[in-house]
């Protein structure tokens, strides 16, 4: 054992070797035992050469190789490199370590990130149900690991923290670790550097890593794509995932893309080559457990989800009561890429109201946003109106200027003419020319659509929605 420890010369390796048992020497093989797959993988990957060299120096030419067998922690005997066929080694004094109980990590959670405050819609309902199921039954093999993916701002962090919040409330004794990928990268890198350069207190770093990550009941790791440049960290995470899953512990990971969107690196040289070329890359060792995970996605919020979020988040903004519903609809009509954009709009309106002290009716909201949103579309023109109307009614823009008179052509054409009259300064003659119609036909079309909107509330709402879409 003294030979093995002298060759190893780092604490994390010594910690692994402390759990290795020696059962004897048989038919040229040194028989070893380990308590779990984590240590077996680590021994084979990092310390196989050291063990072979040490055993060869003890047993000589009779030594062929070593074999490892997994056993329960309590069944692992003390490692003694002595056997009848080998020279006797001096006994090694072992000090039984004091039992230590690691303190549960303090979770840094946002108070509003709970399941109750998550806005559910068609865009995220599957992911929400999966995360709720994990919170109710952590460690269920059918959802372990759980991989939540989607673009930034769609609610991945909210769902992961909601799991932690639910567990703290329903099962406070559960050891939950929620951390950002940067936290894991920092901890793993600090330990790796200490091992490599023999600096710092390696023993404490290794023990802290084990206490925090290996001994937790639930690991919630956010934005795992941020460790795509660290192959050593990725491989350590892969071993950790297998270790936790094999012991019935739950793992939930979030990422900005599906695992299939990463390029697989077969070895370290391939990994470095792809990363230097800017290719999103994950080592094959980490992709192995991710390939078998349950992946649930979050999409851009649909209209109904945007509407519910704005209604909930705007409760404390002093919109004029008579216009509140229309203001919420106006804000929700344009497609927004994520929830943060919507929340940013509401924060802007609240701040501008505090500064200007104005009554926030529909027209004021439109004016405030038109002066604030520098990224909005330019001047509204008959062409832009026609494009939006055609898209909303699901017809080709050419149909609006055609001679077709069926309802699928005439209704969107009349709506486009009406909005051109209401939202631009173009003359009726110019509007008619765009749709290959004369002045009188445009007048008749506008009168007809106004009458239809008076009689059909759903049509009125659709025309208003198109108008909001153009204004926003």
H helices, E strands: number in the chain: 21, 10
Q: Of 50, 75, 100, which marks where a domain is finished?
A: 75
Question: At residue 399, does pLDDT exceed 70?
Answer: yes
73 vs 419, which has greater pLDDT?
A: 419
pLDDT at 104: 62
139 vs 274, which has greater pLDDT?
A: 139
Mean pLDDT of 313-318: 86
297 exposure class (CB count in 10 Å sphere: 0-12, 13-18, 19+): middle
The total number of structural domains in the chain stands at 4
Quick check: 255 and 225 in contact, CB under 8 A?
Answer: yes
29 vs 175, which has greater pLDDT?
A: 175
Q: How does pLDDT run across 252-287, given as a tens digit for each residue?
A: 999 988 888 877 766 667 666 766 666 666 777 787
379 vs 69, which has greater pLDDT?
A: 69
Q: Of 267, 297, 327, which marks where a domain is finished?
A: 297
Question: At residue 372, does pLDDT exceed 60?
Answer: no
State the residue range of the domain holding 25. Answer: 2-75
Could you tell me how many residues make up the chain?
472
**174-192 CB burial, b ≥16 within 10 A, e <16:** ebbbbbbbeebbebbebbb
Q: How does pLDDT run across 163-183, given as a tens digit for each residue?
A: 999 999 999 899 999 998 888
pLDDT band of residue 376 (cuts 50, 70, 90) is very low
Specify whether 281 is located in the same domain as 233: yes
| Within a domain: 88 | no
Q: How far out from the chain centre does Cα 38 lie?
A: 26
Specify whether 226 is located in the same domain as 124: yes
Specify whether 186 is located in the same domain as 285: yes
Mean pLDDT of 389-414: 87
Mean pLDDT, rounded, of the chain: 80
Specify whether 138 is located in the same domain as 268: yes
Specify whether 265 is located in the same domain as 196: yes
pLDDT band of residue 82 (cuts 50, 70, 90) is very low
Quote the CA–CA distance of 31 and 52 in Å, as a whole number. Answer: 12
Q: Which two tokens stand for residue 261?
A: 């969107």
Specify whether 353 is located in the same domain as 387: no
Quick check: 280 and 257 in contact, CB under 8 A?
Answer: yes
371 vs 349, which has greater pLDDT?
A: 349
Q: Of 27, 57, 75, which marks where a domain is finished?
A: 75
| Within a domain: 189 | yes
Q: Which two tokens stand for residue 249?
A: 């512990």
Candidates 231, 237, 181; CA nearest to 214 is: 237
pLDDT band of residue 3 (cuts 50, 70, 90) is low
Quote the CA–CA distance of 222 and 437 in Å, as a whole number. Answer: 58
Quote the CA–CA distance of 196 and 10 in Å, as a whole number. Answer: 8
| Within a domain: 184 | yes
80 exposure class (CB count in 10 Å sphere: 0-12, 13-18, 19+): middle
């Amino acid at each position: 054992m003294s030979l093995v420890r002298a060759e190893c010369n780092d604490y994390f390796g010594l910690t692994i070797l402390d759990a290795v048992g020696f059962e004897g020497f048989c038919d040229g093989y040194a028989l070893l035992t380990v308590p779990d797959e984590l240590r077996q993988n680590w021994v084979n990957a990092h310390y196989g050469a050291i063990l072979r060299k040490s055993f060869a120096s003890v047993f000589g030419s009779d030594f062929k190789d070593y074999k490892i067998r997994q056993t329960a922690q309590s069944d692992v005997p003390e490692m003694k490199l002595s056997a009848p066929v080998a020279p006797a080694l001096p006994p090694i004094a072992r000090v039984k370590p004091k039992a230590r109980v690691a303190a549960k990590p303090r979770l840094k959670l946002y108070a509003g990130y709970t399941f109750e405050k998550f806005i559910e819609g068609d865009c995220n309902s599957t992911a929400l149900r999966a995360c709720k199921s994990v919170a109710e039954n952590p460690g269920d093999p059918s959802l372990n690991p759980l991989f939540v993916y989607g673009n930034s701002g769609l609610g991945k962090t909210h769902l992961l923290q909601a799991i932690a919040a639910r567990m703290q409330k329903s099962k406070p004794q559960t050891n939950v670790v929620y951390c950002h990928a940067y936290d894991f990268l920092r901890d793993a890198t600090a330990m790796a550097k200490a091992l490599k350069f023999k600096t710092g207190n390696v023993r404490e770093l290794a023990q802290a890593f084990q206490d925090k990550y290996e001994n937790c009941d639930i690991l919630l790791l956010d934005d795992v794509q941020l460790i795509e440049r660290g192959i050593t960290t990725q491989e350590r995470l892969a071993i950790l995932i297998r270790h936790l899953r094999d012991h019935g512990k739950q793992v939930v990971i979030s990422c900005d893309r599906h695992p299939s969107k990463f390029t697989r690196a077969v070895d370290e040289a391939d990994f470095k080559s792809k990363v230097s070329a800017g290719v999103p890359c994950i080592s094959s060792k980490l992709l192995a457990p991710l390939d078998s995970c349950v992946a649930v996605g979050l999409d851009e919020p649909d209209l109904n989800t945007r509407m519910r979020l704005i209604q909930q988040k705007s409760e404390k903004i002093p919109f004029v009561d008579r216009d509140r519903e229309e203001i919420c609809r106006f804000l929700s009509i344009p497609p927004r890429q994520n929830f943060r954009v919507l929340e940013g709009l509401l924060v802007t309106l609240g701040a501008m109201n505090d500064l200007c002290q104005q009554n926030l009716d529909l027209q004021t909201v439109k004016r405030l946003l038109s002066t604030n949103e520098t990224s909005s579309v330019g001047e509204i023109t008959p062409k832009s109106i026609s494009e939006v109307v055609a898209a909303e009614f699901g017809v080709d823009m050419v149909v609006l200027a055609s001679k077709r008179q069926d309802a699928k052509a005439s209704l969107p054409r009349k709506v486009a003419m009406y909005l051109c009259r209401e939202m631009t300064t173009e003359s009726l003659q110019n509007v008619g020319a765009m749709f290959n119609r004369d002045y009188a036909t445009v007048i008749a079309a506008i009168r007809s659509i106004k009458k239809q909107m008076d009689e059909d509330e759903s049509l009125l709402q659709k025309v208003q929605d198109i108008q909001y879409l153009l204004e926003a």
